[in-house]
């Protein structure tokens, strides 16, 4: 199996564990390819001569699996980096919460023994495609979590005119407005009071950010529909956040979002279930009195 390893940064406390993980994969007969961010790690690996450094995403063709070592942000970065190659991605969690990076480092060898034996399922997670003023902008990434329109500078109220399939929905007076995917329902949208969507739900979530008209609520719509946001404010400046990446826009800019033809193929072990993840990560049903 050809496996690509990706990370942002490895904390010192996980260094030996990552070296041991690489050792395990090589001993299992895997061909290991690494992103350049792992250069500092492989210097201490006895297998460093057998590891190939990937310098461009164009060299990912033919990979069987891509591994993000970090938190959910690292999974998002890897999803963007691997682009259209449709490589199954698995997250090894060295972060905190982790709704996408579910494998814990202290159980990584046992879990990957299952993966190497093909004992896993693939979840298909949709991306959001973004257009500006009805034009595709090649520099804009696809969103896996959400696209948010925010006032700039911060803490300024804005109005956002929202349309669904070119039909007027409402004008939101708020600190911002976002369109989230089911994957993003456990991210920024959740902190703004949005509901959690199961990954199998084929829907988008329109979530206001600190709304000033208090009668508006998060809204779920079919993912087959196109959504348009047009922001206005006295300052005339806005920040469009695509999975946390900032892009600045001006008054009246037309932001159109729809389901992308590209999907994230996320590896999930057979005994794992989304509801188990939600219950354990969020502490549902755990009573501090017990």
pLDDT of amino acid 212: 92
Within the chain, what is the greatest distance between any pair of CA atoms? 62
- Domain edges within the chain: 2-118, 127-261
Q: For residue 20, is pLDDT > 80?
A: yes
pLDDT in tens, 199-210: 999 999 999 999
Q: For residue 213, is pLDDT > 80?
A: yes
pLDDT in tens, 151-208: 988 778 999 999 999 999 999 999 999 999 999 999 999 999 999 999 999 999 999 9
pLDDT band at residue 288 under the 50/70/90 scheme: low
Instruction: Quote the CA–CA distance of 2 and 60 in Å, as a whole number.
Output: 10
pLDDT in tens, 104-156: 998 999 999 999 999 999 999 999 999 999 887 877 899 999 999 999 887 78
pLDDT of amino acid 217: 94
CA-closest candidate to residue 176, choices 195, 156, 196:
156
> Which residues is 176 bridged to in the sheet?
150, 209
pLDDT band at residue 289 under the 50/70/90 scheme: low
Burial of 143-158, coded b for 16+ CB within 10 Å and e otherwise, reads bbbbbbbbbbeeeeeb
pLDDT band at residue 45 under the 50/70/90 scheme: confident
User: CATH assignment of 127-261, given 1.10.10.350, 3.40.50.720, 3.90.1170.50, 2.60.200.30?
Assistant: 2.60.200.30
Q: Which residues are catalytic?
A: 72
CA-closest candidate to residue 24, choices 153, 111, 145, 154:
111
Q: For residue 273, is pLDDT > 90?
A: no
Instruction: Quote the CA–CA distance of 7 and 150 in Å, as a whole number.
Output: 29
pLDDT of amino acid 96: 73
Residue with tokens 């990434």: 141
Residue 257 vs residue 281, higher pLDDT = 257
Hey, what are 275's tokens? 């509801």
pLDDT band at residue 229 under the 50/70/90 scheme: very high
Please tell me the CATH code under which domain 2-118 is placed. Answer: 3.40.50.10330
Burial of 23-49, coded b for 16+ CB within 10 Å and e otherwise, reads eebbeeebbbbbbebbeebbeebeeee
Instruction: Quote the CA–CA distance of 268 and 88 in Å, as a whole number.
Output: 10
Identify the burial level of 170 via C-beta atoms within 10 angstroms of its C-beta, where 0-12 means exposed, 13-18 middle and 19 or more buried.
middle
pLDDT of amino acid 147: 98
pLDDT in tens, 247-270: 999 999 999 999 999 899 999 998
DSSP-based three-state secondary structure for 74: helix
CA-closest candidate to residue 60, choices 39, 79, 74, 76:
79
pLDDT > 90: what percent of the chain? Answer: 69
Residue with tokens 């001006």: 250
DSSP state at residue 97: S
Residue 155 vs residue 71, higher pLDDT = 71
pLDDT in tens, 58-69: 889 999 999 999
pLDDT in tens, 74-104: 999 999 888 778 899 999 998 777 889 889 9
pLDDT band at residue 29 under the 50/70/90 scheme: very high
The distance from CA 192 to its chain's CA centroid, rounded to whole angstroms, is 17
pLDDT band at residue 287 under the 50/70/90 scheme: low
**Cα torsion angle, 259, 265, 267, 273, sign:** positive
Instruction: Quote the CA–CA distance of 66 and 87 in Å, as a whole number.
Output: 6
């Amino acid at each position: 199996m050809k496996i690509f390893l990706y990370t942002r940064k490895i904390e010192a406390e996980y260094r030996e564990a990552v070296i041991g993980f690489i050792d395990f994969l090589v001993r299992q007969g895997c061909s290991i390819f690494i992103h350049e961010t792992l250069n500092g790690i492989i210097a201490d690996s006895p297998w460093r001569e057998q590891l190939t450094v990937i310098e461009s995403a164009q060299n990912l063709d033919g990979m069987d699996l891509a591994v993000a070592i970090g938190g959910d942000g690292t999974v998002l970065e890897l999803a963007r980096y691997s682009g259209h190659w449709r490589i199954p991605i698995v997250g090894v969690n060295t972060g905190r919460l982790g709704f996408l990076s579910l494998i814990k480092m202290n159980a990584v060898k046992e879990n990957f023994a299952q993966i190497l034996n093909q004992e896993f399922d693939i979840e298909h997670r949709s991306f959001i495609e973004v257009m500006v003023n009805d034009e595709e902008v090649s520099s804009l990434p696809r969103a896996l979590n959400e696209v948010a329109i925010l006032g700039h500078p911060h803490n300024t109220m804005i109005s956002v005119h929202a349309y669904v399939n070119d039909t007027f929905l409402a004008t939101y007076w708020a600190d911002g407005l976002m369109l989230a995917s089911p994957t993003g329902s456990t991210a920024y949208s959740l902190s703004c009071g949005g509901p959690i969507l199961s990954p199998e739900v084929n829907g988008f979530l329109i979530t206001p950010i600190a709304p000033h008209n208090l009668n508006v609520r998060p809204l779920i719509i079919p993912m087959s529909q196109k959504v348009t946001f047009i922001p206005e404010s006295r300052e005339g400046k806005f920040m469009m956040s695509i999975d946390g990446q900032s892009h600045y826009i001006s008054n009246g800019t037309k932001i159109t979002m729809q389901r992308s033809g590209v999907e994230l193929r996320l590896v999930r072990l057979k005994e794992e279930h989304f509801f188990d993840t939600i219950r354990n990560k969020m502490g549902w049903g755990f009573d501090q009195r017990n």
